[in-house]
Chains A and B, each alone.
Chain A
Amino acid sequence: MSRRYYGDRFIPARSSIDFDLANFLLVGSRSQSQTRQEKTDDTLYRQRLSALMTMRNRNRILSFWSNPISGDFQTDLSDFAEKKPSKGRRYIPKSAERILSAPEILDDYNLNLIDWSSSNYLAIALSHRVCLWDATNGVGFDFMSINGDIGPITSVSWAPDGQRIAMGMNNSTVELWDVTSSQKLRTLQGGHQSRVGSLCWNDHVLTTGGKDSIIIDNDVRIRSHHVRTYKGHKAEVCQLKWSNSGKQLASGGNDSLLYIWDRSLASRWLHKFEDHMSTVKAIAWCPLQSNLLASSGGAGDQSIKFWNAQTGVCLNSCDTGSQVCSLLWSKSNKEILSSHGPTQNQLTLWKYPSMAKIAELTGHTSRVLFMTQSPDSCMVASAAADETLRIWKVFETPEVAMLTTETTYAEPFRNLNYIR
């Protein structure tokens, strides 16, 4: 049977198959295999790998953004849901909704001391103890405290189920506690050599980043929890964020580097971004557009940069004029909130992609080190070295499906759908 006989292959839609690419991969790549044996250079391998991986992306995909249209025929019946083109500015209160005191909070740029759970509890690490604040009824209480030789607590992260909380310690261990029973579930140790300043959950895997510049994936269900190591940073890893799909990990370090790691690539990094001028602490994946990542550097950098994590292209860079400590995206529309340091210590809300300032929220009297978002994504909590924790109402609620009210128009051929 000759190679050209494709007789028993069923090709359902020829137009959606890229025959040029298929042909190249079958035929053309063979002639290049000799060069691969000549150089087993790390960079060459990675270049070819990225070329193959981005082969499908040799075009750009652009989406028209001038007027995101919504079906406006429903605005009579709906309560005042925004009609995008002609909507007026929504009111964003310039001062905090609530101010809570956070005594003894550590003034360290490289740590992550607050987190808001899916069960609506706000956890804050104050030196050697962790306090929980129930956001539903506004009640705060001490959760646990640790000994002096283990602590202080250097990072806090709720598990996706909102019942368990992980805490990174100064002595390089990570403790996992259950909130409902107030019990310690386990201690992860032996991985890091110095304090664990950043944590991020990806389902049942807890990824930890330490001052020893190593990132470790820990599967919390099994005994030997250390499943994967990521080496690349040269200084403290101060931020870890998994993408929405859970396939890519963005890590920022004190060495001004931003790495993107991919689960499918052994232990090599997918992208390494050196554009920032100082510690990359603020990292956030856009919930609405996959592959869009925002990152920001510290006092020496002051810019917010946007990346396409798939192609590794820097889409935009915006100078903010002050140190950026943290970034959060809105879940309902393309807005991004950044928290700053001196002199204004404000939170700035930007519209993406135009990077127009929508609002500036002031109140903190020292740099706003930590920010986290509520589970319903409208409220943002920020903590600063001025020992206060402030809750702000910033984002819009994501629109809920209006299934019941759409009876004003009749879909023309609804009953005819299944005619065959």
Chain B
Amino acid sequence: MASRTVAKDIITLKGSAAIVSEFFGYAANSILYNRGIYPEESFAKVKKYGLPMLLTQDDGVKSFIANLTSQLSEWLEAGKLQRVVLVIMSKATSEVFERWNFSIETDSEVVEKGVSREKSDKEIMREIQAIMRQIASSITYLPCLDEPCVFDVLAYTDTDVAVPFTWVESDAKLITNPQMVKLHSFDTKIHKVDTLVSYKTDEWEE
């Protein structure tokens, strides 16, 4: 039993990439549920990270996120992904309301040499759990989204990356004068992911 836990603590580049892209998939679902982008009836509960996580049952969104996470995983393994941003915009005017920014720092030594690192799985899960809880509680301070919204995902990559045709060059979709809140980060010792949410300042607040 002792050897089994030791084996679990070793993280490879592939494993880390899988953890990060899986995290992103769940985080995206959580954001979509909590911000009311899709109706809550279209979500189902699963247990993950020791929390009841909600996953969308809508086929379109499911496949969208699945394609997304597989591409992110590929880029993470190559060490080319710098950050991922989930942008929430108004459906009618395409005005950006919120930006969920996940910046990724990759340990380049691992990408180049293929070494692996050690960190307990439980530790990583705990860190991710903290972030998930924070996302869920973020609705207490984020301004209300009154109009129907859509979301978009932007990836900041290195310039020399091969781009499949499903990804298109885009502008940064920034918010003018945003309020920013930094959430917890988690670290797999290979990839360190920082979370930041920036949102449009509500006119009611001074």
CB of A74 within 8 A of CB of B148, answer yes
Asked whether any CB of chain B lies closer than 8 Å to the CB of A342, the reply is no
Chain B positions 67 through 90: 1 when the CB is less than 8 Å from some CB of chain A, otherwise 0? 110010000000000100000001
CB of B161 within 8 A of CB of A353, answer no
Given contacts A62-B167, A71-B150, A406-B147, 7 further A-B contacts (CB under 8 A): A14-B182, A310-B171, A353-B168, A402-B148, A403-B147, A408-B39, A413-B139
CB of B169 within 8 A of CB of A60, answer yes
Complex CA distance for A62 and B156, rounded to whole angstroms: 6
Chain A interface residues toward B at CB < 8 A: 12-16, 58-74, 85, 288-292, 308, 310, 313, 315, 353-354, 399-403, 406, 408-409, 411-414, 416-417, 419-420
Asked whether any CB of chain A lies closer than 8 Å to the CB of B29, the reply is no
Chain B positions 24 through 48: 1 when the CB is less than 8 Å from some CB of chain A, otherwise 0? 0000000000101111111000000
The stretch of B7-15, B56-64, B112-120 that contacts the partner chain: B56-64
Q: From the candidates A58, A65, A409, name the one contacting B167 in the complex (CB within 8 A).
A: A65
CB of A289 within 8 A of CB of B170, answer yes
Complex CA distance for A417 and B146, rounded to whole angstroms: 12
By secondary structure, the B interface counts as mixed
Instruction: Please give the number of chain B residues whose Cβ is less than 8 angstroms from any Cβ of chain A in the complex.
Output: 59
Name A414's closest neighbour in chain B (CB-CB): B144
* A227 nearest CB across to chain B (Å): 27
A63 in contact with B39 given A15-B103, A15-B194, A69-B64 (CB within 8 Å) = no
Complex CA distance for A413 and B165, rounded to whole angstroms: 38
Collect the chain B residues with CB atoms within 8 Å of residue A70's CB.
Answer: 91, 148, 150
A71 in contact with B148 given A66-B64, A288-B94, A401-B90 (CB within 8 Å) = yes
By secondary structure, the A interface counts as loop
A63 in contact with B153 given A15-B182, A74-B148, A417-B143 (CB within 8 Å) = yes
CB of A66 within 8 A of CB of B140, answer no
CB of A411 within 8 A of CB of B144, answer yes
Name A83's closest neighbour in chain B (CB-CB): B60
Asked whether any CB of chain A lies closer than 8 Å to the CB of B180, the reply is yes
* B35 nearest CB across to chain A (Å): 9
CB of B166 within 8 A of CB of A66, answer yes
**29 A–B pairs (Cβ distance < 8 Å), ordered by A:** A15-B103, A16-B196, A59-B156, A60-B169, A61-B172, A62-B170, A63-B167, A63-B168, A64-B67, A64-B152, A64-B167, A67-B60, A67-B64, A69-B150, A71-B150, A72-B58, A73-B42, A288-B94, A289-B170, A315-B169, A399-B91, A401-B90, A401-B93, A406-B148, A409-B36, A412-B40, A413-B140, A417-B140, A420-B141
Complex CA distance for A292 and B64, rounded to whole angstroms: 24
CB of B196 within 8 A of CB of A64, answer no
A401 in contact with B91 given A68-B150, A417-B143 (CB within 8 Å) = yes
